A and B are shown apart, each in its own frame.
Chain A
Amino acid sequence: MSPPSRGFLGRRRSGVDPSRVPPGQHLTRGFPVLSAGPTPRTEVADWSFTIEGAVEEPTSWRWEAFIALPTDQITVDIHCVTKWSKLDTSWRGVSLDTLLKTVETKAEYLTAWCDGGYTTNLALEDVLDGKAWVAYEYDGEPLAPEHGGPARLLVPHLYFWKSAKWVRGLRLTETDEPGFWETYGYHNHGDPGLEQRYQGD
């Protein structure tokens, strides 16, 4: 339990269901950009998406084939570990259920890998059953490079570093292998409701 901060009143939110804002988060109307290095700029003509690793047969799609897959329109709240949350964000993308249906695997984990070298790890149970997508439209427009375009992972029930920008593939793994931020002190799972920000939370 934290002691009160002398003289701190705080700015209460009005008109927002408090249950939508996880502990320690505050709302933003903008769309902040956070990444560890320069923004990669991959043209869709050079883009592909691959599922590989512990699978019988790797699968890959070029851009045109990828966007021909069945899509979902997704409206979700997103939560960044740097403490902003954004409500009712609107995306279009392909669910990981659709993508992972195409491979046979005994793996229980995956590593998403990206242009620019970024990686993040996820348990399959965190990305199946309508919990994750590869999104390529935001607010009805193609996803901008600084927000992860051409395509990014969207895993809204976890902190947003799990929603890897510039995603190019999923490597399925039988053991859980920490990704980029997960090896730099951030939590392995990253559930905003449990405030799993850093290792040890």
Chain B
Amino acid sequence: MLDVPHWPGHRTGQHVDVRLTADDGYQAERSYSIASAPEDDGIMLTIDRLEDGEVSPYLTEVLEPGDTLELRGPIGGYFVWDASLRGPLLLISGGSGIVPLRAMLRHWAAVRPPVAVRLLHSARSLDDVIYHDELIRLAAFEEVDVRIALTRAWPDDWRGHRGRIDRNFLEDAAWPAQEQPRIYVCGPTAFVEATAAALVESGQRPDSIKTERFGSTGG
């Protein structure tokens, strides 16, 4: 959680650039999606620590409360959602791709617009589901439907989807194209490629699908 002086406000789905500077002036920069809603206090980033990363291990292991961080943003004007938009909201994420979608869900819960929301989230196992408890709380809203797909391991009594988010799952879970859902897909490249292709094959309009891909870029 960051306290950012002069923060101009953001829209859900936007990101910030974080810049680290070593004593000799060497710098490293990475982009991170904003996990908090505009209504939240402070700016929250959720960092997926990459084993061989340069910036994410610093942010997760070295940075402490009280330290100063140089950041720039908010950035991005396309992969954004705000509560004034109409049409059902279909959010689809894989792994840490849930971060910007979590901001959208929190924004929805703060404003409560008359829009139905569905989150389809894919994780390896239940322990890998980021924001698990918060998702359960959000699912208590009548308009919010959370469906989790576990791809590698699941509890014996798991009633959610087992396996990847595929075309059958999407056809069952997505609103038909006539209802003009606004679709946001975020996750690793292979997940986004497969999901966006399956959505198009199942009849969704390509221009209703906004994607954000997290490459494994050594972050």
Question: Do B75 and A8 touch (CB < 8 A)?
Answer: no
> C-beta contact mask, B56-88 vs A, less than 8 Å → 1, else 0?
001000110001111000011111000000000
- B186–chain A nearest beta-carbon distance, Å: 12
Selected from B193, B215, B218, the residue in CB contact (under 8 A) with A39 is B193
Question: Do B70 and A5 touch (CB < 8 A)?
Answer: yes
**Which of B14-22, B37-45, B90-98 has 4 or more CB atoms under 8 Å from chain A?**
B14-22
Tell yes or no: A2 within 8 A of B by CB. yes
Residues on the B chain within 8 Å of A116, using CB? 206
Question: Do B211 and A37 touch (CB < 8 A)?
Answer: yes
Residues on the B chain within 8 Å of A7, using CB? 58, 62-63
**A:1-50 near B, CB below 8 Å:** 2-12, 23-24, 26-28, 30, 32-41
Q: Which residue of B lies closest to A184 (CB)?
A: B77
Tell yes or no: B196 within 8 A of A by CB. yes
Tell yes or no: A66 within 8 A of B by CB. no
Bound form: Cα–Cα A184–B78 in Å: 6
Question: Do A10 and B69 touch (CB < 8 A)?
Answer: no
Selected from A30, A83, A183, the residue in CB contact (under 8 A) with B29 is A83
Tell yes or no: B146 within 8 A of A by CB. no
**A:157-201 near B, CB below 8 Å:** 180-181, 183-185, 197-198
Q: Which residue of B lies closest to A18 (CB)?
A: B26
Residues on the B chain within 8 Å of A33, using CB? 189, 193, 213, 215
Residues on the A chain within 8 Å of B76, using CB? 184-185
> C-beta contact mask, B172-193 vs A, less than 8 Å → 1, else 0?
0000000000000000010001
Question: Do B54 and A26 touch (CB < 8 A)?
Answer: yes
Contact count band on B: 35 or more
Question: Do B22 and A24 touch (CB < 8 A)?
Answer: no
Residues on the A chain within 8 Å of B218, using CB? 26-28, 84
Bound form: Cα–Cα A170–B61 in Å: 48
Selected from B17, B20, B22, B200, the residue in CB contact (under 8 A) with A38 is B200
Question: Do B20 and A83 touch (CB < 8 A)?
Answer: no
Question: Do A185 and B75 touch (CB < 8 A)?
Answer: yes
Question: Do A28 and B217 touch (CB < 8 A)?
Answer: yes
Question: Do B58 and A82 touch (CB < 8 A)?
Answer: no
- A42–chain B nearest beta-carbon distance, Å: 12
Given A2-B70, A3-B70, 13 further pairs, Cβ under 8 A: A3-B21, A9-B22, A11-B54, A24-B27, A32-B217, A37-B211, A39-B197, A41-B197, A117-B207, A181-B78, A184-B76, A184-B78, A197-B17
B interface residues, Cβ below 8 angstroms from A? 17, 19-23, 26-31, 54, 58, 62-63, 67-70, 75-79, 189, 193, 196-197, 199-200, 206-207, 209-211, 213, 215-218
A interface residues, Cβ below 8 angstroms from B? 2-12, 23-24, 26-28, 30, 32-41, 82-84, 116-117, 146, 180-181, 183-185, 197-198
The 3 closest A-B pairs by CB, nearest first: A32-B215, A38-B196, A184-B77
